[in-house]
Amino acid sequence: MTHKIELLAAEIANLKASNTEEVEQLRIKYLGRKGIMNDLMEAFRSVAPEEKKVLGQKINALKQGLTQKINELKENVAVEANCGDAIDLTRTPYPIKLGTRHPLTIVKNEIVDIFARLGFTLAEGPEVEDDWHVYSSMNFADDHPARDMQDTFFIEARPDIILRSHTSSVQARVMETQKPPIRVICPGRVYRNEAISARAHCFFHQVEGLYIDTNVSFTDLKQVLLLFAQEMFGAETQIRLRPSYFPFTEPSAEMDISCHLCGGKGCSFCKHTGWVEILGCGMVDPAVLEANGINSKEYTGYAFGMGIERITNLKYQVKDLRMFSENDTRFLDEFKSAN
Ligand code: DAH
């Protein structure tokens, strides 16, 4: 009998099953009412009394081992059956993919931060505006070409309501509600009826600056813009102002910075001039102050406006304006480290 038990023990150790049915068959074969263990118990009854103790222990151990083995097989086939959708809790988790700030947002924040340090506060206005705030209050003549359908988007059935074509409209909004001294920086989206290409888009972004107080001079404007240019493009940056014309400023100027790619020596980026244009500016036209309820005898002011895409292009050399609005994550991911 001892020999039989040993043979069975070896047999049990090698039992295999590939599904629940097979495990059940094994259970019946060994542990069932008419199973092998039962036969063994029957045989045990007729064993000589002096052998019972030792053999009884062996049979018990065999039964324990058998029960354990059957349970193990049961568990294994259950795990294998679920393997397709099992969750492996020991696996290293996937890293969470963080989004990135849009390059235009990065640059906008940088511009606003620089002027905030100079005491400018943030102001915003609506993108759907009326003719008064965009054009009339900004001293545009009734027949100014910018008012043309070619440049401006009109809201159907409301010819006086338009999509603002520049952030200068926020100047008017601020003057309406604030008394001088006024010192605001106004970022926002603007719209123009342009065919979309690498160099033009029907919407883009601007930042407007406005400073109104007693005794504000052109020198103040120049100093603030120099500071801005050096903060934005590096301490060695130089500026130059060229006379220009805008309806809402007098005198008006366009500002260039020394080309930061070639250090002003001349390269293909600055078309070998050593300078690149970055903004328009000037002293607020007294007619604009008066139209917006500010006494032009008491107060003077300066204003400036720049395109955020333009500044971003200068900083990061983005060749195609359309990249900014295509949501291509390969492009956006490049700005991950920018801040
Ligand atoms: N509004 C002008 C544009 O869209 C930019 C500009 C020029 C704004 C001169 C100003 C300024 O405030 O003084 O082209």
Q: Is the dihedral of CA 100, 102, 106, 112 positive or negative?
A: negative
Distance of CA 106 from the midpoint of ligand 1 (Å): 22
Q: What is the pLDDT of residues 281-312, one digit of tens each?
A: 999 999 999 999 999 999 999 999 999 999 99
Residue 339 has pLDDT above 60, yes or no: no
Q: Compute the average pLDDT of residues 177-185.
A: 97
Q: Compute the average pLDDT of residues 259-272.
A: 88
- Taking the CB of residue 236, how many other CB atoms lie within 10 A of it? 10
What pLDDT was estimated at residue 300? 98
Residue to mutate, 129, 133, 208, ligand 1, most ligand atoms under 8 Å from C-beta: 208
Domain-by-domain residue ranges, the chain? 2-82, 103-338
326, two tokens: 């295509």
Distance of CA 225 from the midpoint of ligand 1 (Å): 14
Q: What is the pLDDT of residues 249-262, one digit of tens each?
A: 999 999 999 998 88
Between residues 258 and 85, which one has the greater pLDDT?
Answer: 258
Residue 83 has pLDDT above 80, yes or no: no
Q: Compute the average pLDDT of residues 36-46.
A: 88
Pocket flag, ligand 1, residue 237 (CB < 6 Å): no
> Does the structural domain 103-338 have CATH classification 3.30.930.10?
yes
Pocket flag, ligand 1, residue 282 (CB < 6 Å): yes
What pLDDT was estimated at residue 84? 62
Pocket flag, ligand 1, residue 168 (CB < 6 Å): yes
Q: Which atom of ligand 1 is nearest to the CA of 208?
A: 12
What pLDDT was estimated at residue 338? 53
N residues, the chain: 339
Residue 336 has pLDDT above 80, yes or no: no
Q: Compute the average pLDDT of residues 129-139.
A: 96
Distance of CA 32 from the midpoint of ligand 1 (Å): 94
Is residue 85 very low, low, confident or very high in pLDDT (cuts 50, 70, 90)? low
What pLDDT was estimated at residue 260? 84
Distance CA 295, CA 214 (A): 10
Is residue 144 very low, low, confident or very high in pLDDT (cuts 50, 70, 90)? confident
Three-class secondary structure assignment of the chain = CHHHHHHHHHHHHCCCCCCHHHHHHHHHHHHCCCCHHHHHHHHHHCCCHHHHHHHHHHHHHHHHHHHHHHHHHHHHHHHHHHHHHCCCCCCCCCCCCCCCCCHHHHHHHHHHHHHHHCCCEECCCCCEEEHHHHCHHHCCCCCCHHHCCCCCCEECCEEEEEECCCCHHHHHHHHHHCCCCEEEEEEEEEECCCCCCCCCCCEEEEEEEEEEECCCCHHHHHHHHHHHHHHHHCCCCCEEEEEEEECCEEEEEEEEEECCCCCCCCCCCCCCCCEEEEEEEEEECHHHHHHCCCCCCCCEEEEEEEEHHHHHHHHHCCCCHHHHHCCCHHHHHHHCCCC
Distance of CA 204 from the midpoint of ligand 1 (Å): 14
Q: What is the pLDDT of residues 148-169, one digit of tens each?
A: 776 899 988 888 999 999 999 9
CA nearest ligand 1 atom 12, residue? 304
Distance of CA 208 from the midpoint of ligand 1 (Å): 7
Distance of CA 255 from the midpoint of ligand 1 (Å): 11
Is residue 20 very low, low, confident or very high in pLDDT (cuts 50, 70, 90)? confident
Residue to mutate, 137, 168, 174, ligand 1, most ligand atoms under 8 Å from C-beta: 168
